[in-house]
């Protein structure tokens, strides 16, 4: 069993989705390449595999530097979470923190983005297991799932995030009352079942 935490971030139009930020427990799992820069996602490894204030600030500063090069200024909505400290010296970013205890009402990611991301992840995971069963009918699904490495999970997470449609994100922002450009089509808003992977706010075992 490996515990990881994911941070997902996207703009209101869904056209800009930042690379998935994964926080794991191991610094260099056996399945990882020698250089972490070759991973399909951003990866860090505090002792408890949880988001920390330091990691959040590091992520913000790196993004702020990229925005400075692009000459772009943005407003970023942030959960009122203990590992999300206020950072006052950002040059191109203004942080706006949601009121306490309003995540389920005002956080666009909780309006369906995370749920659909989980669904795409689960679908890709199932496809991988089915392909293995087709190749070797004598194997069992439970045994195949145990062979999936953390590196495999990172690639599945990256692909699931890419697969999530911009229209889904637009609708979720609208559902949170933060956008007036909702589409008529409730695209990609399937009632996916839960999967053992979540955002920086919640933890699951993978």
Paired with 204 in beta bridges are 4
Closest CA to 75 of 85, 62, 64, 83: 64
pLDDT on residue 197: 30
Question: pLDDT of the chain along its 206 residues, tens only?
Answer: 678 999 999 999 999 999 999 999 988 888 999 988 899 999 999 988 899 999 999 999 999 999 999 999 999 999 888 899 999 999 999 999 999 888 888 889 999 999 999 999 999 999 999 999 999 989 998 899 889 999 999 999 999 999 999 999 999 999 998 865 544 444 445 444 333 333 333 333 33
Q: Is 87 exposed, middle or buried (0-12, 13-18, 19+ CB in 10 A)?
A: middle
DSSP state of 124: H
Number of structural domains found in the chain: 1
Three-class DSSP category at 111:
helix
Strand runs labelled E in the chain: 3-7, 21-23, 42-44, 74-78, 93-97, 204-205
Its pTM stands at 0.82
Q: Are 29 and 149 in contact (CB under 8 A)?
A: yes
Rounded CA-CA distance 111/150 in Å is: 27
pLDDT on residue 146: 87
Q: Are 119 and 193 in contact (CB under 8 A)?
A: yes
pLDDT on residue 191: 42
Domain that holds residue 83: 3-205
Strand runs labelled E in 24-113: 42-44, 74-78, 93-97
Q: Are 4 and 49 in contact (CB under 8 A)?
A: yes
pLDDT on residue 179: 66
Paired with 180 in beta bridges are none
Going by their DSSP bridges, the two strands 3-7 and 93-97 should be labelled as unpaired
Q: Which helix (H) or strand (E) holds 163?
A: helix 150-163
């Amino acid at each position: 069993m490996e515990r990881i935490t994911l941070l997902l971030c996207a703009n209101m139009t869904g056209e800009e989705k930042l690379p998935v930020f994964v926080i794991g427990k191991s610094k260099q799992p056996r399945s990882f390449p020698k250089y972490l820069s070759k991973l399909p996602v951003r990866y860090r490894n505090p002792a408890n595999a949880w988001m920390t204030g330091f990691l959040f600030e590091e992520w913000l500063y790196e993004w702020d530097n990229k925005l400075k090069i692009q000459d772009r200024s943005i407003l970023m909505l942030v959960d009122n979470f203990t590992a999300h400290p206020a950072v006052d010296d950002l040059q191109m970013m203004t942080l706006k923190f949601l009121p306490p205890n309003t995540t389920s009402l005002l956080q666009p990611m909780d309006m369906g983005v995370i749920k659909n991301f989980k669904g795409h992840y689960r679908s890709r995971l199932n496809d991988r297991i089915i392909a293995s069963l087709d190749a070797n009918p004598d194997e069992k699904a439970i045994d195949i799932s145990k062979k999936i490495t953390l590196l495999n999970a990172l690639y599945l997470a990256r692909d699931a995030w890419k697969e999530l449609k911009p229209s889904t994100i637009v609708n979720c922002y609208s559902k949170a009352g933060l956008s007036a450009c909702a589409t008529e089509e409730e695209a990609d808003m399937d009632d996916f079942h839960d999967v053992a992977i979540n955002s920086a706010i919640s933890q699951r075992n993978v």
